[in-house]
Amino acid sequence: MKGKLILEDGTIFRGQIFGGSNQTATGEVVFNTGMTGYQEILTDSSYCRQIVTLTYPLIGNYGTAKIFDQSTKSYVGGLVIGELCDNGSNWQMEKSLIDYLSIYKIPCLFDVDTRAVTKKIRSAGTMKGIIVSEYTSQATIDEMMNLPIKRDVVYEVTTSDTYTIGSEDDDAPFVVAMDFGVKQNILDSLLRLGCKLTVVPASTPASDILEMNPDGIFLSNGPGDPKDVPDIIDEVEKLIGKKPMFGICLGHQLIALALGADTYKLKFGHRGANQPVKNIKTGRVYISSQNHGYAVDERSLRKLPLEVTYTSVNDGTIEGLRHKKLPIYSVQYHPEASPGPDDNLYLFDEFIQMMKK
């Protein structure tokens, strides 16, 4: 079926809507430059309600397998791709991408000039968009465009119940992970280092976390504007200085806000598996995987007990922070995603050593 992506400024990109998925979508339109990892993107909670454009031209060529899921379901609003491969081939493949899109009812527009979509977003910035069939009435289009993009989406993707996994050894590092949409690979990275993990909902009070007496507290990735969750920021502030703390992506931003810094929206964000970040002290550049639309404002760090540890080579934005006195540090990128492939896993080791000290 013929379909189209319509941006809020009126720009239209035409293609085909995959018939086995939902045929309409509304959300912020973003792009990801990764050459692989489409299943991880589809199940990364940080993309909740966004319409994701994949810049790599052929998508679906290695199929899908459950082991690559990063959450229990897909939260993306829609998918925009160039060529949709219907005959994937890989020794781990369990389902084709077409079957996967059908099961999760993910709206997918293909045969699209994704280079043109990306260039538009890069020049104009991320904006609202909708996916509809070519024959959708203008009244329906106007109605969809007038619907506000939902905020507070952290509460959509967080766990509903507290659960514990990992080592049963009494001497194992005990970590409470605040789930704002945590990726499975992050939990796996901590489990591989022998941690016992208690994963708690995003709305868990600081007093409940401290009552568990963990060795450390982990703040996960997640979707949306960090300023949309002031109640969570208040609870994180109550945890400052109580236990060693490590944050990734949204967790990084929440730590910064809890300590008095500010955040702002990037023009089109950082989303891809080839983002270079520079270690300020050593000058070494690491290749990182990233997915975020907001960043910490460096000007807001003046007079705060925070030092910048990593910056983006591409645009100079902050990619890492460390408290000058307390055992707290965070990174904006995803060390568990292994774009290096193992360049950034040392950050989890540092968390273990911090807890031991």
Concatenating the DSSP letter of every residue in 251-272 gives HHHHHHHHTT--EEEEEEEEEE
**Catalytic annotation present for 334:** yes
**Catalytic annotation present for 40:** no
**Catalytic annotation present for 249:** yes
Catalytic residue among 28, 249, 270, 292: 249
**Which stretches of 193-246 are DSSP H helices?**
206-211, 230-239
Torsion-angle region of 241 (φ positive above 0: left; ψ -120 to 50: alpha; else: beta): left
Rounded to an integer, what distance in angstroms lies between the CA atom of residue 1 and that of residue 133? 7
Rg (CA), the chain: 20
- CA nearest neighbour of 276 among 319, 322, 308: 319
Element of type H or E holding 30: strand 25-32
Distance, first Cα to last Cα, the chain: 60
Q: In what order do the strands lie in the sheet with 196-201?
A: 163-166, 196-201, 174-179, 216-219, 245-248, 328-331, 318-323, 306-312, 263-279, 285-296
Q: For the chain, how long is the longest CA-to-CA vector? A: 63
Q: Please name the residue that has the structure tokens 């236990």.
A: 243
Rounded to an integer, what distance in angstroms lies between the CA atom of residue 260 and that of residue 281? 24
Rounded to an integer, what distance in angstroms lies between the CA atom of residue 228 and that of residue 215? 29
Main-chain phi, psi angles of 251, to 5 degrees: -60, -40
DSSP-assigned letter for residue 102: H
CB atoms within 10 A of CB 58: 12
Rounded to an integer, what distance in angstroms lies between the CA atom of residue 74 and that of residue 108? 13
How many residues in the chain?
Answer: 357
Q: Which residues are catalytic?
A: 249, 334, 336
